[in-house]
Chain A
Amino acid sequence: MPDVIANHLQVELAIVGAGPAGLAAAAEASDLGVPVTLIDLFPRPGGQYFKPTPAELDGESGAHLSPLLDRLSQADMRVISDTAVWGIFPEGEGYLLCLYGPVGTPRRLLARKVILAPGAHDRPVPFPGWTLPGVITAGAALTLVKHQRLLPGRRFLLSGTGPLQLVLARHLLDAGGEVAAVLDANPFPWRGWRHARAAWGQWERLGEGWAAWRSLRKADALLRWGHVVRRAEGEGQVEQAIIGPVDGGTDEAVAVDRIAVDTICLGHGLAPSVQLARQAGCEHRYDPDQRAYLPVRDESLQSTLPGLFVVGDGAGIGGKDVAQWEGRLAALAAAAQLTRSVAADRIAAVRRELARQRRFAAVLIDLFPASAHLGDLLTDDTVLCRCEEITVGEIRRVVAEGAETLNAVRMVTRAGMGRCQGRMCGGPVSELLARELGQPVEALGQVTPRPPVVPVPLEGLLEEEA
C-alpha cells in the first residue's frame, strides 16, 4: 500500500519514551542536527524520574527537574504526548510505528531510525492478599506523595529491597505518615565495603540513603533484613500484614509477626518494560541477575534489528544516570547512520561516562539482587495473573496435566493475556513454572507479545480516525 504509506508522517528519528534515556537521546541527536520526534505515554514528558508535579498542587513546581526538559521547546523537537505506541513493524529501510493518542494524533509514523526508551515498572512479587486495596507499589506511593501531594494511608509497611525503599520511607515520614516497618528481602549488605571504589563520588546518592536511614531510626520503625510481607489480610482492604523470613517454609515453620497497617508498599526493584522491543522482533536473552529477559544489543546499543536501539531501564535496570548516557550513545550511533558527522572523541567521552555510571549501578544489583518470586509463600488460591484472575493452583494444575512451556500455560489458563499483557504476571508465572518443573526459567521459552502491546480500542487500530 505505498500510496497509503506515503500519507504517513515520515521522520528521520523517532524516540519512544520521554524519561531520562529518551530525553538525553533527543538532546544528543538534536546537537548533531537530527530532528527528533519524541512519543510519550504520559500527558507531560519526564518519565518517572523527572515527573513534574502539577503547579496547582505544589507552589515550587516551576523547579528545574532537568535541563533536558527545557530542550523540548526547540524547533527541531516534536513531542507527541499522552500517546501509546502499540506496535512496531519493519517497513522498507525503517520502521512503521503504530500510535494511539488523543484526537488529532497521527496514527502511523514512518521512522528511518528508532530509539526505544520505554523505562520500567515496579517489579511485581506476588503473595497471598496482594490484590487487596491498600497494597500498592512503592512507585505508586512515591508518585502519590511527591507528585499528587497525597499521603495514601496512615500506617505503612514497606516490603521489598534496595535503597529506594528508604527514600520512600523518608517521604512518607516527612508527609506525616507512620512507617511501622521496612523489610528488605536481602541480607544486610555487609559486602558493601568491597564496592567503596565504585561508590566513590556518588555522594548525593549515598547521602540520601544515609539521611533516610537516620530518619527511620528516629521514627522507631522496625527494620529487618531477609524479611518480607508474607501475607496481607483484611475485610475488603488491608488491615494487617503477616511478616517473616523470606524462606524457610510455612508460617508454622518460621517465626512470623502480625502487624497492623493500612497500607503496604511493595518495592522489589524494577522490571524493564520490554514488550515493544519483543513485539518488534528484537532478540532477548534471560539475565539471571535481573531475573528478566533483556534485549541483545551491540556496543552502540543497537538491538538485533538494524537501526532500532533500546536504551535505559527498559533494556536492563541501571537507573537514571546510566539511562541518560545510554540514550546519548544510541543517539550518536543513530546520527551516524543518518550520515551526520559524529566526533570520535564525543563517542569516547560518552562511553567513559556510561562505564562509570554502570559500575555504580552494578553495586546496587550486587547488594540488592532481584529476589525470587517468593515461591514458598504462594498458596493455591493466590492470584498470580491480576487481570484474568488466574491462581497459583490453576497454573499448578495445568503443569500437572503436562504443560511445559510458557506459551502452553498461557494458552490454557489465559494468564498474561489480560489488559496488562503480562507485565504484572509474566515474571511470577515463569518462575512458578520453573519451580514446578525443576527447570531454569531460560528453558521455558518466551511468550511473544502481540500487537497491540497495550490495550487500544478497536477504532484506535485504524490508520485514520473514524
Chain B
Amino acid sequence: MTSSRLPRPAGSPTLTVSVDSEIAEAHPGETVATVLLALGRQTFRHTDHLHAPRGLFCGMGVCFDCLVTIDGQPNVRACMTPVHAGMTIETGGPSDA
C-alpha cells in the first residue's frame, strides 16, 4: 500500500518529526498514523505472541492495533495522536518503503 498526501492548502506550514531516528516532514493537523503511512510505512509494530505485522486498522481509537512509542511513551495510538514539532516516533516494525 503506497499512501499519498492529497494537496495541502497553499502556504500550509510544515514541521519535522523523527521516525525511528530519521527526520521526516509532516503537517500540523496530521496524526502520527498519517505521517507513517505517507512515509510508506504500514507496519507500525509486530505483535508479542505471533510476531505478526500490524498497522492502522480502525482509525478511530477502538482497536489498539496502531500502537507506537511517542516521545518515549510506549503503546500510544498513532491514529489518535496529532503530530507536533520535534516529536519522536518509534515504530515496532521495519520500513516497508
Contacts and interface: CB of A to CB of B under 8 A. Distances in A.
Contact of B62 (A136, A149, A176, A420): A420
Interface size, A (range): 35 or more
Contacts of A140: 56-60, 79
A418 B64 contact: yes
| Interface of chain B, main secondary structure | loop
A56 B15 CA distance: 12
Task: Name the residue among A58, A143, A152, A424 with the largest chain B CB count within 10 angstroms.
Answer: A152
Contacts of B48: 389
A160 to B, nearest CB: 14
Interface in A379-436: 383, 386-389, 418-420, 423-424
Contact of A133 (B7, B55, B61): B55
A141 interface: yes
A355 interface: no
Given A236-B53, A389-B49, A418-B64, A150 B59 contact: no
Interface string B1-18: 111111111101100000
A134 interface: yes
A321 interface: no
Interface string A50-90: 00011111110000000000000000000000000000000
A43 interface: yes
Interface string B43-81: 110011110111111111111110000000000000110
A134 B42 contact: yes
B86 interface: no
Contacts of A371: none
Contacts of B47: 389
A48 interface: yes
A131 interface: yes
Contact of B58 (A42, A139, A383): A139
A150 B3 contact: yes
Contacts of B62: 121, 273, 420, 423-424
Nearest to A138: B59
Contact of A386 (B6, B31, B65): B65
B1 A262 contact: yes
Contact of B29 (A56, A137, A383, A387): A56
B84 interface: no
A154 interface: yes
Contact of A137 (B42, B44, B54, B57): B57
A238 B1 contact: yes
B3 to A, nearest CB: 5
B1 A148 contact: no
Contacts of B5: 149-151
Contacts of A28: none
Given A58-B9, A133-B42, A137-B58, A153 B2 contact: yes
A369 B41 CA distance: 35
Task: Name the residue among B7, B50, B57, B62 with the largest chain A CB count within 10 angstroms.
Answer: B62
Contacts of A296: none
A455 B1 contact: no
A290 interface: no
A151 B2 CA distance: 9
A144 B63 contact: no
A151 B50 contact: no
Contacts of A148: 30-31, 33-34
Task: Name the residue among B5, B37, B42, B65 with the largest chain A CB count within 10 angstroms.
Answer: B42
Contacts of B2: 153-154, 262
A11 interface: no
A176 B29 CA distance: 22
23 contacts: A53-B29, A55-B29, A56-B29, A131-B52, A131-B57, A133-B1, A133-B42, A134-B42, A135-B57, A136-B58, A139-B59, A139-B60, A140-B56, A145-B6, A150-B6, A150-B30, A150-B34, A154-B1, A154-B2, A176-B6, A236-B96, A237-B43, A386-B63
The 3 closest A-B CB pairs, nearest first, are: A54-B29, A140-B59, A133-B55
Interface of A: 41-43, 48, 53-59, 121-122, 124, 131-137, 139-141, 143-145, 148-154, 175-176, 236-238, 262-263, 273, 383, 386-389, 418-420, 423-424, 455
Interface of B: 1-10, 12-13, 27-31, 33-34, 37-38, 42-44, 47-50, 52-65, 79-80, 82, 96
Given A150-B38, A262-B2, A389-B48, 9 more contacts: A54-B30, A57-B8, A121-B58, A131-B52, A144-B3, A148-B34, A149-B6, A151-B5, A153-B2
